[in-house]
Amino acid sequence: MNLYARQGDVKHARKLFDRMPKRDVGSWTAMISGYSQRGYHRHAMLLFKQMRREPLRANDFTTGVF
């Protein structure tokens, strides 16, 4: 998923992300960063808001995306 996101293929990255049974802060950050780097800032913000509803905390890398 991270590789797809880094390469700009956010569509496939998101498919893998959505299928992940358990997501950690790294997977959330990779997906948010992938959206942001490709100019999909609205998607990045919506995903960040969704992450905040999960029982985990954003780290400095996650918040540094914005």
pLDDT digits (tens, 9 = 90+) for 8-17: 899 999 999 9
Q: Number of folded domains in the chain?
A: 1
For residue 29, which of 63, 53, 56, 55 has the smallest C-alpha distance? Answer: 63
Q: Which structural domain, as residue segments, surrounds residue 20?
A: 2-64
Where does residue 8 fall: left (phi above 0), alpha (psi -120 to 50 degrees), or beta otherwise?
left
The set of residues, in sequence order, having a beta carbon less than 8 Å from that of 51 and lying 6+ positions away, is 28, 32, 58, 62
The model's pTM is 0.89
Report pLDDT digits (tens) over 13-59: 999 999 999 999 999 999 999 999 999 999 999 999 999 999 988 88
17 compared with 63, residue with greater pLDDT: 17
